[in-house]
Structure 1
Amino acid sequence: MQDIENMNIPETSDLIAGIRFDGEQGKIWFNEQRMLLIHAAVMGLLRKELIETLGVQRAKRFLMRFGYHSGMKDAEIARKVRPHIAREECFMAGPQMHGIRGMVKVVPTRLELDMASGHFLGEFDWFNSYEADVHQHEFGQSEEPICWTLLGYASGYTSYFMGQTIIYKEVGCVAMGGDHCSIIGKPAHEWEDKAEIEKFMLPDPVAEELFALRSELVKLRDSVGDDSEDDYRVFNSIGQSAAFRQVCKLIQKASSSRVTVLLQGETGVGKEVFARGLHVASERADKPFVAVNCACIPPDLIEAELFGVEKGAYTGATQSREGKFERANGGTIFLDEVVELSPRAQASLLRVLQEGELERVGDVRTRNIDVRVVTATNEDLQQAVQEGRFRADLFYRLNIFPVYIPALRERKEDIPLLVQHFLERYQAIYNKRTLGVTDRAREALLEYDWPGNIRELENLIERGIILTDNNNEIEVCSFFPSFKDSDSAVGKVRQDGSLREVAICADGDKDDWCAQLLAEGGSLETLEKSLIRHALKAAEGNVSKAARALGLTRPALAYRMKKLEQS
């Protein structure tokens, strides 16, 4: 057990360093979470409206839950900012962040904390509570403690750290005429009125009923269809952007006919998903769907794979077998990368489209075939015709109903939905539960150009799930390992389809600083030595911490240190 008298409480400099103001983009960052800077008086008006609209008890419940979730978020950040100190000492980041936020000055008077046994007893004095000030301004003196948001924050923060529900009570309040506010916190089961206190941390039942009713309405609409949406969604499709809806509408219209569809778009946009959607929405839904990637089959075998082969047709053909088209008979065949078809296979495909018949390789018998053909390519087929790589008459047959599937960078409104979809999928696969992605990571995903489209996004989400511990948010570095953060303002640029950051001096005078360095005869080696020396000094010799400050891995910094020592 550790008490407050022998606890080594860190300074607040590392927490303050995590705050970055990006006025150019209209954002404030604390670690990887976006923050807001608002007037305390405005919070007072919000409290007033909540009390007058919902009543005191419901307003209290709402504000305590608001504070509770804020405390949980800060507790998660604290562990990331201070990963190398004892968990008990790291706990003090919460009271410190309370002060940094301008909410209240926290002075611990008693703290008994034992992570192993789960014992916790905390007593704190609060000075300059913003919540007491704004409440007194609007309502005057109170008959009971009113620092509800701050109380919820303390409970949420401590509960996260202890891994159990810790409840605080405010036993003294400035709004009641005291010199300062005071709180006491201990595990929920140690309070005699546990049930009464805990109910303030639970969602308001009225709000829950409204959410439940809304959920029921959404499910009902999904089950019976919604004419206002024109039933635009297709099988396993995710999106809501205008570009996505347009594609879905075209697929829906094509599904009610026999027309051959040509899906165009970059690699990874989900052409097979739309092909399956077309099949499922058609009258052939109960028949086979066969997908073929033409680029994966050697040119000398592709005709036999697609149209079948008779025994003895060539060396190795020891028995007759049907091809992909016969397996798809009555249903749909999807030919991806159709531009890779050999000239003979192109001729055979044209015959299927025109006459509805095929011949196996080495056979003399004609077979009738009823199959819906959907093709896809990420190349310009018309350009392939001009180059002599693709038959013009086949192109005209395939191009009857072309559908362009937009790249992910053209439908970025759909990224949050896709992220949530893949999070749920891979959390189930890896039996993990994350808290989603950080604000910074979400912004990086939205700003990235996605050269690999949806397939690349899916791969990044899977990587993020693997690298993130249970009950934590996925950070930007789990998606983009080369992403470097900076204590100064940060500007992002796109280059060759990748995301990187360039640091901008906080005073905006980087050119003058560079010119001065050169005028003084400074070298890159000297500058590197100085940066490393200052980083190590600030980190008190901790190489890992210095590496993070410099945006390097620990091995990379160790290598640079060794190289500079030898020079």
Structure 2
Amino acid sequence: MTSNYIPELKYSDYQDLSEQVHFQSTEGKIWFGEQRMLLLQVSAMANFRRELVNSLGIERAKGFFLRLGYQSGLKDAEMARKLRPNSPDSEMFLVGPLLHSLKGMVKVKPMQLEVDLETGHFYCELEWIDSFEVEACQTELGLMAEPVCWSLLGYACAYSSSFMKREIIIQETSCRGCGDERCIIIGKPAEEWENAAEFKRYFQADPIIEELYELQSQVSSLRKCLEKQEGQYYGIGQSPAYKKVCKTIDKAARGKVSVLLLGESGVGKEVIARSVHLRSERADKAFVALNCAAIPPELIEAELFGVEKGAYTGANQTRLGRFERANGGTIFLDEVVELTPRAQATLLRVLQESELERVGDSRTRKIDVRVIAATNESLADAVEAGKFRSDLYYRLNVFPVQIPPLRERLEDLPLLAEHFLQKFHLQYHKRTLGLSDKALELCLHYAWPGNIRELENVIERGVILTDSNETIGQDALFAVFPKTGNMRGDRLNADGALVQATDTETSTGWLTQIFDKNVSLDAVEEQLMRHAMELAQQNVSQAARLLGLTRPALAYRLKKSGILDSSGAA
């Protein structure tokens, strides 16, 4: 229902907004809700405005500041709906003007306000008192020919449009920055303005920016071609650890040498394998990937090397194996440690003789396939435990490469998160405002045991739970975010701020409890193994990774403690 009532803004109106401000002085951070803020001198903004006007001209500088304010307005409209969901429409809308005042940008005096979310009716007339942009212009540029409250207008347009869920245009009809007595703004739907098309052009890229974008696109295309030639074709990452891996593996990409990719589950081994294939002379041939752990042991040979009709019950027709399908190209064998002994022997022959026999066949077939293998377990330990052939291990281990886990390349996390955001925006036909600053900070303090695959799943969850034009908060990313579940044992205080634990806090607390209760070392080890097995849902390999052990080493300890029986069952 349309409201014409204009409440007098009092201190109490700012109370719930002021509570959103948190200072973390020791961390050098200020938070407003989940957004990181800055305290910046008006004089610095004045100098910046003068430089932009001198460099770009008034019209382009005006468009820049309008677009700058627009981004801030989108964030605050989201907050207004959350803070006062049950208030009348006009009171809920006034959160925006109150935020303008709270942030020190301008004092807002409502003169007329008509807001009806149900019908979409909107009209406002406000006075802006002591605008920081007027002060900035008077200091650096003097009186201007036209109104100067550019970023404030951009904010107001975005806030009003997002709040009303329709296009609202706010314009300044008088401004002290150009000699008028007061700064007065009027807002109404875009279709009610005669100059709407002209005004909206400020929110679009101007010709210079378009030219820059076009040139940037051309440069990007050329750079990709050069990167492919020079070897930087290995997915997303700019951290030193990841660049070192890319540079190392690129040395082997062009040849036929077998490559062994090592690393935890989810670090992107298949992405690397595909990149090696694309960098090789076999790029125009097939790339075939197979997870050896996903195929039943009795079928793995037929899946890899093919089967002749009648070779066994159920083999009703001749079928090519993965190796023959990859002939001339590359095959990627993930979890190669899970191959059966017979499959290992056949694979060794393929690698040494470049020939194979289908299951149930007596004829050999020449094959030309490059093998890229991967495992998240130690093949050397598997050889020592008798689980993997030593001769095959030496044949695969010609060029081993260790892929770093995500926790060792956290510099790449923002790039990876942005990549997944774009992917899921397209997939779910929506566009969020990205991660909140606090959500990103928490991501950067999380250990990511599932690595990039876990990050992808977390971002997908965030996109699903967040509406378009809203920010993805920490609650949308993590269903149950552990209060002390990050790498250093940091925790969250009552305000949701991150408190860094000291080395003494993270190490002596639980150690003291162990000694005080006279808990034996064997008991501690047993409890750790039991808990790891519970977290891994009784998967020994996953539990071993959680404990930093090899699978054979953990299996031995589990059997010794009686957690596993001799058959390997929990």
Q: TM-score range by the shorter chain?
A: 0.7 to 0.9
- Take 2:384 and 2:284, find their aligned partners in 1: how far apart are those partners? 39
For residues 432 and 371 of structure 1, the distance between their equivalents in structure 2, rounded to whole angstroms, comes to: 42
Structure 2 gaps, min length 5: 500-570
Q: Deviations over 1:236-272 (max 9, x none)?
A: x222333333333344332321211111111111212
Which amino acid in the other structure matches residue 11 of structure 1? D
Deviations 1:408-466 (A, max 9, x none): 12222222222222222222222222222222222222222211111111111211121
8 Å CA contact 2:172, 2:184 repeated in 1: yes
- Give me the whole-angstrom Cα distance separating, in 2, the residues matched to 1:404 and 1:312: 42
Looking at structure 1, the residues matched to 26 and 447 of structure 2 have their Cα atoms a distance apart, in angstroms, of 21
Pair 1:325–1:8, CA change in 2 (3 A): farther
Displacement, 1:502?
A: 3.8
Written as runs of structure 1 = structure 2, the 5 A alignment for 1:391-470 is 391-470=389-468
When residues 162 and 446 of structure 1 are mapped into structure 2, their CA distance, relative to the original with a 3 A threshold, is same
Number of the residue aligned with 2:40: 38
Letter in structure 2 aligned against 1:501:
L
Q: Which residue of 2 aligns with 1:230?
A: 230
| Residue 155 of structure 1, aligned match among 119, 136, 157 | 157
Instruction: Label 1:90 to 1:254 Cα distance change in 2 as closer, same or farther (>3 A).
Output: same
Counterpart AA for 1:233: Y
Distance 1:87 1:410 in 2: 48
- For 1:23 and 1:32, the matched residues in 2 are separated by 16
Using the TM superposition, give the Cα deviation of residue 469 of structure 1 relative to its aligned residue in structure 2, in angstroms.
Answer: 1.3
Number of matched pairs: 496
Letter in structure 1 aligned against 2:260:
L
Q: What is the identity, as a one-letter code, of the residue corresponding to 1:452? A: G
Are the structure 2 counterparts of residues 483 and 107 from structure 1 closer, same or farther at C-alpha, using a change threshold of 3 Å? farther
Q: Does 1:99 align with 2:101?
A: yes
DSSP 3-state at the match of 2:352: helix
> CA 1:190–1:387 in 2, change beyond 3 Å: closer, same or farther?
same
SS in 2 for 1:335: strand
Q: 1:96 Cα deviation (Å)? A: 0.5
Is the aligned partner of 1:301 residue 2:292?
no
- Is 1:329–2:320 an aligned residue pair? no
2:532 corresponds in structure 1 to none
After TM superposition, give the deviation of residue 102 of structure 1 in Å. 1.0
Cα drift, residue 379 of structure 1: 0.6
Alpha-carbon distance change, 319 to 183 in structure 1, aligned in 2, over 3 angstroms:
closer
Q: 1:312-333: CA deviations, max 9, x gaps?
A: 5545445554433333333222
Deviation, 1:383, is 1.3
Secondary structure at the aligned position of 2:127 is classed as strand
Partners of 2:496 and 2:325 in 1: how far apart? Answer: 64
Distance 1:92 1:314, change over 3 A: same
* Cα distance, 1:354 vs structure 2: 1.6
2:522 is matched with which residue?
none
Measure, in 2, the Cα distance between the counterparts of 1:33 and 1:25: 15
Alignment TM-score, normalising by the size of structure 2: 0.79
* Residue 346 of structure 2 corresponds to residue 348 of structure 1: yes
Please give the secondary structure, in 1, of the residue aligned with 2:233.
coil
**TM-score (structure 1 length as normaliser):** 0.79
Counterpart of 1:21? 23
TM-aligned CA deviation for residue 498 of structure 1: 9.5
The alpha carbon displacement at 1:178 in A equals: 6.0
Report SS of the residue matched to 1:37.
coil
Q: C-alpha separation between the residues in 2 aligned to 1:313 and 1:197? A: 76
Q: Which amino acid counterpart does residue 492 of structure 2 have in structure 1?
A: E
Measured after TM superposition, the shift of residue 467 of structure 1 is 1.0
Distance 1:211 1:286 in 2: 31
Residue 419 and residue 303 in structure 1: after superposition, are their counterparts in 2 closer, same or farther (change >3 A)? same
Asked whether the equivalents of residues 309 and 361 of structure 1 are also in contact (C-alpha less than 8 Å), the reply is yes
Q: Aligned runs of 1:24-423 on 2, under 5 Å?
A: 24-140=26-142, 144-175=146-177, 180-222=182-224, 224-225=225-226, 230-234=230-234, 237-311=235-309, 313-317=311-315, 319-423=317-421
How far does the alpha carbon of each residue in 1:84-128 deviate from its partner, in whole angstroms, 9 at most, with x for none?
434443111011001100111111111112233433221112223
* CA displacement, residues 62-102 of structure 1 (integer Å, 9 cap, x when unaligned): 32332233222221222233334344431110110011001
Given that 2:307 and 2:361 are in contact with CA atoms closer than 8 Å, whether structure 1 keeps it comes out as yes
Contact 1:448 1:498 in 2 (8 A): no
- Root-mean-square deviation (CA), in Å? 3.0
Identical pairs, percent: 56
User: CA offsets per residue over residues 123-172 of structure 1, 9 Å max, x none?
Assistant: 11222322223333345555654333323322222122223333333344
The alpha carbon displacement at 1:476 in A equals 1.8
Q: Which runs of 5+ in 1 are unaligned?
A: 485-491, 509-567
CA pair 400-123 structure 1, distance change in 2 beyond 3 A: same
Identify the range of structure 1 (120-129 vs 172-181) with the bigger mean alpha-carbon deviation.
Answer: 172-181
